[in-house]
Amino acid sequence: MKIKKFDTKALDEILGKMIETVGESKSEIFRISEQCRQDFETLSDELQSIKQIVYKVIDDGDLLEGQVRLARNFLSEVSRNFTQFTETEVREAYEKAHQLQMDLTLNRQTEKQLRERRDDLERRLIGINETIERAEHLVSQISVVMNYLTSDLKQMGEVIEDAKAKQDFGLKIIEAQEDERKRLSREIHDGPAQMLANVIMRSDLIERVYRERGGEEALIEVRSFKKMVRSALYEVRRIIYDLRPMALDDLGLVPTLRKYLQTIEEYHHISRIEFVNIGLEKRLPPKHEVALFRLIQESVQNALKHADAKDIVVKVEIAKSAINVSIKDNGVGFDVCRKDPASFGIIGMKERVELLNGQISIDSIIGKGTTVLIRVPLEE
């Protein structure tokens, strides 16, 4: 059967429309997420204020209840010994008891209204938190789609020449996409999702701290509460940044790597990341810059998350005919011959290097660290 030549121009037009639509959807979801975060902080502040007022109203109610009890006892005494009190004293006793009872009734009504408002705020916070989680999940998924639409899929017209090439490339994209989703799922679950899940528990903790330890310690918990929400926001933005730094398109591989590794080092605190460029600092073909950035990114993240490395050295050499990269860490190492779920990331790295007609080697010694060597040829 004769295979028709693939129309790359039509594919580019389709991809362009898809990128535009997906980009607009991502921006809209991000705006919704940001508005929800602002509402979350506003409602959280109001909730803490309401809780403090509730505590005060309860204390005032307990005090009024004691005063009402004393006033009733005094009225009983007046009733038993009516002749021993003047008319003015009797009237004042009745008026005081009546006024205290009215104050207590008003206090109970106020307490009920405040409790209802508190419960409503807590329900709204739970709903907003769920909306934020869904929005973040959607943004991360859309970011993955945008990454492939603007990088890997953009090269399809050059690669797909016949049906077999198209099928092989599609399978590689699907596998890489699934690996990326797994990585994002782990990062979101272990990072912002856990933090946001703790938000609701922390609100209950603040109430208990205020009741048992007082307002000062409750205020400390409120500050910690806000810090937790901000940390979750930072985690989400960091994950989005990891998907594709804008500087990669504007500045190229070396400046982007320098900034990215510096940011990762600042974020992890306890790990030192050294970047060394010993070759030319020049622009590379887009597919090379994207692939090499992803390879170095994956290697560094593996060293930080799985190897618990304290020192990581990334070296890049851009020569006229080839690019040489090494990523060396002093982590716990692993058995390169053993197959486990973590090896899927290594398979993805090997496939990405193969697409560039390059070579990759991974050497690791348990207890001493791991070294990743990558060599990608450049066309003259």
Token pair, residue 50, equals 């309401």
Specify the residue for token string 């937790």. 228
Token pair, residue 275, equals 């970047």
> What is the pLDDT of the chain when averaged over all its residues?
79
Q: Is 226 helix (H, G, I), strand (E, B) or coil?
A: helix
Can you give the pTM of this predicted structure?
0.42
pLDDT digits (tens, 9 = 90+) for 149-161: 666 555 555 555 5
Distance CA 24, CA 146 (A): 11
∠ CA 316-322-326 to the nearest 5 degrees?
30
Nearest to 334 by CA among 367, 305, 361, 308: 367
Q: Which amino acid is at 25?
A: S
Task: Kindly list the structural domains of the chain, giving each domain's residue range(s) and its CATH number in brackets, ordered by start.
Answer: 8-241 (1.10.287), 246-377 (3.30.565.10)
Instruction: Count CB neighbours of 83 within 10 A.
Output: 4
The DSSP string of 74-121 is HHHHHHHTGGGS-HHHHHHHHHHHHHHHHHHHHHHHHHHHHHHHHHHH
Mean pLDDT by 10 residues, the chain (380 residues): 53 74 79 84 88 89 88 82 78 86 89 89 88 80 72 56 51 65 69 67 72 74 74 68 68 88 83 88 86 90 87 92 93 77 66 88 90 88
pLDDT at 324: 94
pLDDT digits (tens, 9 = 90+) for 197-226: 676 677 677 777 777 777 777 777 777 777
